[in-house]
Structures are given as structure tokens and as C-alpha cells.
Structure 1
Amino acid sequence: MFDGLKDKLNDFRTDVEEQAESEPDERSDDGEAPDQPAASDAAVGPEADAASSGDASGGGSAGSEDGDSDPDSEGAEPSTFQRAKAFATGRIIIEEEDLEEPLWNLEMALLESDVEMSVAEEILETVRETMLGETRKQVETTGELVEEALHDALLEVIAVGQFDFEARIAEADKPVTIVFTGVNGVGKTTSIAKLSEWLADRGYSSVLANGDTYRAGANEQIREHADRLDRKLIAHEQGGDPAAVVYDAVEYAEANDVDVVLGDTAGRLHTSNDLMAQLEKIDRVVDPDLTLFVDEAVAGQDAVTRAKEFDDAAAIDGAILTKADADSSGGAAISIAYVTGKPILFLGTGQGYDDIERFDPERLVDRLLGEDA
């Protein structure tokens, strides 16, 4: 899952390591490499003694006030002298020039992975702010510093709006009504069946409602799932009122102590006025507790755009991404929450009813950075 993006993030880490871990004697302000003794002098000369003394007293590390007071350290960017002094005391300074090319490559990699532009820019800015002027002990790796910066930047955009879905179900008055929306063919009905099984595994009963009343074969499709899972299905004849179907399901749940109503709706585009009017009527008649947007992770930028459009039109509460197991890019998973302000709640990861998992931003970031299988 998301292997392509994972490889590109690892490339960024390698690029920064190659740029930042070159010794200070390989750089100079005029672009020429000084002779090797210059670095040695910096390592054993008075400046290094002063830096060591400063370190011993809790100050004087690279970028500290003591360093800034040195004539050679004036200006916004660390000078060659500062780099040499830092290197002599076992530290390395990350500079703008170290990040310029790697950040450009990272931006291209994110966009190629279908990460939305504003999300990519936010990630880059967070990485830049985290790393510029930072120092590290030489016994640590620059890769670890890069990984920490990427971790924080990715988590900041992915975790927007997250809430504990199971706690929301547990604490809400029953029955909890959840309506599913999205375009045709993205797996809404299958996601409803999967979520019904996920809820059953946690002790919650559910009833399915087919509000997709206009599509030929819709009743048969959801009934097949209901029969396999031994769930009650509320359905009307083709062409019936979707709001009435979901309303009847709520009535059934109240009368039979069912915990959750899972209501399917017709696949729709935000530009379809009739279908959007149906969704608005369901909102008025039923007042669902949650409206979940469903789309395919492999749709990338299209899924991000649709999520924004559906949220504008119908105020979604969260999203489910299907086919996440087939997505090597990860752009939709990274972008949707930041763009809509609403969280991704579940990932569909296969064909079976058990192939659904709670979306865990921390775990996803660990996967992308190679910390989790």
C-alpha cells in the first residue's frame, strides 16, 4: 500500500543526507573549496576551543547567541566558519542550500503521487521550517532528522479532523443513522456491508437501507450482501422516495433495538441537481448522525476534488477510501482530510467483508516512512 510514495519519501531522505553530511571544508561562501588544513585549523584552533567551552557551559552550540555574536556568523545563513566550528564540535547545520534541490524533488514526487497542490506546499513548508538551522549531534544520522521532519509534516495534514469513530457510535443515542454518498461505481454498497460486519465484530447490530432507488439492480446488489451477512434490509420498489426508505429503516431500528442504520444512496455527481436534492431531503427527513463520502483511493486527485465538492454540497462528516490496497500513490489518503477539513475514517483493503480497517494517521505515516510493514 502506497509503495510508490514510500519510495519517493525515502529518496528525499537520501538526497538531504548527501547534501547535508558533506564536511564544511567542501563548502565556502565564494563557492570554492578551501584547502584541507583550513578545516583542521577550525577543528583544533581557538574557535573550536571557544565552541567547546561554550558547549560545556550550556551555550555556544551552532546557531546559539554566542555563535551569532562572532563577526563571521552575522547574517541569516550560517557561514562557512559556523559550519566548520559546528563540525569541529561534532554537530552539523542544515542550511537552505542543503534543502533546495531535495525539496524541489520532493514537491515533484508529491504531485506525481496525486497529492493536492496546497497539501504538498504545506508539507514542504513544515519540513523546511523544521529543518532549517537545526543542528544534530554527529552520533545521530541526518536521516533521522529528515524522518522526524517528514513524520511531523505528513501527520499534520493527514490527521485533520480525526475523531474516535467507535466512541462516537458508543456514546450516541441509538439508533445511529449513517448515510453513504459518492459517485457511481466506487464501492459504496460494498463499504456499507463491510462496515456492518465491522460493527458486528464490536457488538453493534445494524440494518441496511437501500436509498439507491433509481438504479436498476440496486436492490438486488444490496440484498445479496444483506443475505450473506444475515442483516435486515429495508427497501422500496425501484423509483421510490430515498428519504422514505431511510426513514422506514430508522423506524425499524427504533422498534427492534437495532444500534445502527446504514443507508445507501444513489451514486451522484455534485452537478446533478436532482440527486443532490434527494440527499438534502434525506437530511431534512432523517437528520442522519453521520454522512460519509466514499471514493476510490486509486482515483487520486479526482477523489480529492470530489470530496471537496461533496463536502461543499452536502457537508460530509468523513470519508471511506476503497481499493487502498491497490493504491501505490497515496495522494488521496494524504490530501482529503486537509482539503475538506473532514477525516478519512476507513480504508477498504480487499474483497472480503473483513477487508476494512480504521484509518490511523500515525500508522499510515509510519508505513510511508518505512517504520511499519
Structure 2
Amino acid sequence: MFNLLKDKLKNWTKKISENISKKPEVSEEKPREKKPKIGEVKEKKSKKIVVEAPEKEETKGIFKSISEKLFKVKISEKEFEVYSEDLEMLLLENNVALEVAEEIVKKLKEKIIGQEFLKKEIESQIKESFKEIIEDILIEPFDIIGKINGKKKSQEKEPYVILFCGINGSGKTTTIAKIADFLKERKLSCVLAAADTFRSAAIEQLKKHGEKLNVKVIEHEYGSDPASVGFDAIKYAKKNFIDCVLIDTAGRIHTAKDLLREIEKISRVCKPDLKIFVGESITGNDAVEQAKSFNWHIGIDGIILTKSDIDEKGGTALSVGYVTKKPILYLGTGQEYDKIEPFNKQKFIERLGL
């Protein structure tokens, strides 16, 4: 997972570190020696000067200080510019959105230009800078289970409603089934709403998942109003004291205005507590643009990226949250119900070798 981006970042960091370390050391201006006056020379020669031997600790400190001065270098803006183009290009080639790539280059420039580095520590310092930048770019995910339990304990006595959106083929319906299984494992009940009344076999697909998971599916006929399906699922959940309602919606291209108006209506009628965009990790900038569009129309709260297990680049995960200012909540890592993992910033950074 994300190995291409990991290797490219490693190689770039190594290249700039090796080349910068070949520079001449940072020079320190030595103070000028004061020349004695002619009349003072004889007098000074006659004096016997006694010098005490410095202690070992003091000697070590002096040598360490001299050693550090000898092996320190600075990275100039001109030198950084030589490598910044390569960095931006490798980020773009690995599905990082342009605005995110530019932000990474800009922040790295701010962190390392003009700073003194020990030659032997340049590579580790640049890696540490990358780590800090990516930590800032990624949005911290929130705890869905905590939110559901919070509403469950409140006086509202209402189910927690989650609306899922995304384009066709992104793995949305399978992801909903995974979330249903995830909730069941944590002793939370749910009902599924088959609000995709447009795509052929969409209702049957969700019902099949429902049967496997022993979870109730609320359905209407094909062509019926999707918002009414969601509304009825919420009504059923209230009556039967069910904790969560998971609403499946028709996949729609993020530029199809009529279909986007339809999901706006579903959101308006069902008033979901959480709106999740489901996109493919391997589609790069397409997933970013889709997320931006859905965020504009219904205001998404979080993101699930599918097919992350076969994503060798990792740029989508790095970009989609930054562009939408919404967190990645889960990564889909396979077809089985348990192949979904909560997104963890530190784990993601480690996967990039940082």
C-alpha cells in the first residue's frame, strides 16, 4: 500500500541530502589577532606564562563544538529550487492534487531554507520536516462509534442516520455492508435503506448483503422517490429502537445536476447526522474532484476510500481531506466485510516511510 510514493519520497530525500552534504562547510569568521606594539614585545617575552591543563570534559566540549562547526551546511533557496521541481513532479505523478503538492513544497521550503544542518543529519531532518507537513495536511478523523453512542445515550431517542454518496462503481454499497458489519461487531443495531431506486439490481445487491448480515433492508419499487425510502427507514428504526440507519443512494456523476439535486432532497428530507463520500483511492484527482462536488452540494462530513489495498501511489488519501477540509474515516482494504480499517494519521505516515 502506497509503496510508489514511499519509494519516490525516499529517493528524493536521499538525492538532495547527498548533494547538499558535498557543499563546503559553513565558514565561521575568526577574530583577528591583536598585534603587540614594538615596545611591548620584549616585556611579553620575559614573562613566564603558566597554562593550566584543561579538564577532559572541557576538552571534549571544545572538540565537539569545533567538529559541529566543521560539518554544518546550509541549504540556500537557489539550491532548493533545483530539487523542488522534481519533488512537485513526483507528487503529481503519485496522484497528489496540484494545490496539495504546491503546499508541501512551500512548507518544506519554509522549514529547511537557511537552516544549519549537520551533514550526517540532513536526510533525517528533511524526513522529519515531511512528517510534520503531512501531519498538518491530514485532517484528524473523529470517532463514529462515539458519536452513535452519544446520541443513543441522549434524550432524543432517535436513530443515528448516515447518508452515503459517491459515483457509480466506487464500492459504495459494499462499503455500507462493511459499516453495518462493523457496527454489529460493536453491539450497535442498524437498518439499511435501499434509496438507489435508479440502478438496475441495486436493491437486490443491498438485500443480498442484508441477508448475509441478518440486517433489515427497507425498499420501495424501482423509480420511486429515494427520499421516501430513507424517510421510511428512519421511521422503522424509531419504531423498533434501532441504533443506526444507513442510507444507500444512486451513484451519480459529480457533474450531473439533476441527480445532485436529487441527493440534496434526500439530505433535506432525511436530515442525516453524518454524510459520507465514498471514493476509490486509485482514481487520484478524479476522487478529489468528486468529493469537492458532493461537499459543495450536500456538505459531506467524512470520507471513505475504497481499494486502498491496491493503491500503490497514496496521493488520493493525501489530497482529498486537505481539499475538502474533511477527514478520511476509513480505508477499504478488500472485498470481505472485515476488510475496512479506521483511518489513522500516524499509520499512514509510517506507510510513507516517514
TM class, shorter-length: 0.7 to 0.9
Q: Which residue of structure 1 aligns with residue 170 of structure 2?
A: 186
Cα distance in 2 between the residues matched to 1:119 and 1:190: 30
Partner Cα separation in structure 1 for residue 143 and residue 205 of structure 2: 30
| Deviations 1:144-177, CA, capped at 9 Å, x for gaps | 1011111111122122x63233322222254110
Which deviations, in whole Å up to 9, do the C-alpha atoms of 1:105-134 show, x marking residues without a partner?
111000111211111010111111111122
> Cα–Cα, structure 1 residues 241 and 155, in superposed 2: closer, same or farther, change >3 Å?
same
Partner of 1:237: helix, strand, or coil?
coil
Aligned to 1:80: none
Is the contact between residue 197 and residue 225 of structure 2 (CA under 8 Å) also seen in structure 1? yes
TM-score by length of 1: 0.80
The 1:136/1:48 distance shift into structure 2, 3 A limit, reads: farther
Seen in structure 2, the aligned counterparts of structure 1 residues 142 and 126 have a Cα distance that, compared at 3 Å, is same
Q: What secondary structure sits across from 1:183 in the alignment?
A: coil
Would you say 1:113 and 2:94 are equivalent positions? yes
2:141 to 162, 167, 184: 162
Is 1:141 the counterpart of 2:141? The answer is no
State the Cα deviation string for residues 221-275 of structure 1 (Å, max 9, x = none).
0011111111111111111111111111111111222111100001112332332
- In structure 2, the residue matched to 1:20 is 20
Matched residue, 2:132: 152
SS in 1 for 2:192: strand
Q: 1:316 — aligned with what? A: 300
CA distance in 1, matches of 2:8, 2:220: 50
SS of structure 2 residue aligned to 1:291 = strand
Map 1:31-42 onto structure 2 (within 5 A).
none
CA distance in 1 between counterparts of 2:108 and 2:9 reads 12
Contact 2:160 2:273 in 1 (8 A): yes
Distance verdict in 2 for CA 1:257–1:48, change over 3 Å:
farther
Structure 1 vs Structure 2: percent identity of aligned residues? Answer: 42
Q: Distance in 2 between matches of 1:47 and 1:222?
A: 80
Structure 1 residue identity aligned to 2:97: E
Classify the secondary structure of the residue corresponding to 1:269. Answer: coil
Q: Which runs of 5+ in 1 are unaligned?
A: 26-38, 50-55, 57-84
Task: Work out whether residues 141 and 343 of structure 2, in 8 Å CA contact, stay in contact via their aligned partners in 1.
Answer: no
State which of 215, 222, 232 in structure 2 corresponds to 1:248. Answer: 232
Aligned CA RMSD, in angstroms, stands at: 2.3
Secondary structure, aligned partner of 1:268: coil
Residues 89, 18 of structure 1: alpha-carbon distance in 2 compared, 3 angstrom cutoff: closer
Alignment of 1:1-373 (within 5 A): 1-24=1-24, 46=30, 88-137=69-118, 141-159=121-139, 162-173=141-152, 174-368=158-352, 370=353
Which SS does the other structure have where 1:172 is aligned? helix
CA-CA distance at 1:87 after TM superposition: 5.6
Distance 1:156 1:185 in 2: 31
CA contact 2:330–2:341 (8 Å) conserved in 1: yes
Q: CA separation in 1, counterparts of 2:257 and 2:92?
A: 32
Higher relative contact order (CA 8 A, sep 6+): 2
CA distance in 2, matches of 1:13, 1:292: 36
Residues 314 and 93 of structure 1, relative CA distance in 2, 3 Å threshold: same
Aligned AA (2:273):
D
Q: 1:179 touches 1:292 (CA, 8 Å); kept in 2?
A: yes
Relative to structure 1, is the Cα distance of residues 86 and 131 closer, same or farther in structure 2, using a 3 angstrom cutoff? farther
Q: Relative to structure 2, which stretch is displaced further, 270-279 or 347-356?
A: 270-279
Cα 1:101–1:283, aligned 2, differ >3 Å: closer, same or farther? Answer: same
Report which of the two structures shows the higher radius of gyration computed on alpha carbons. 2
The 8 Å contact of residues 163 and 267 in structure 2, kept in 1 or not, is answered as no
TM-score by length of 2: 0.84
Count of paired positions: 318
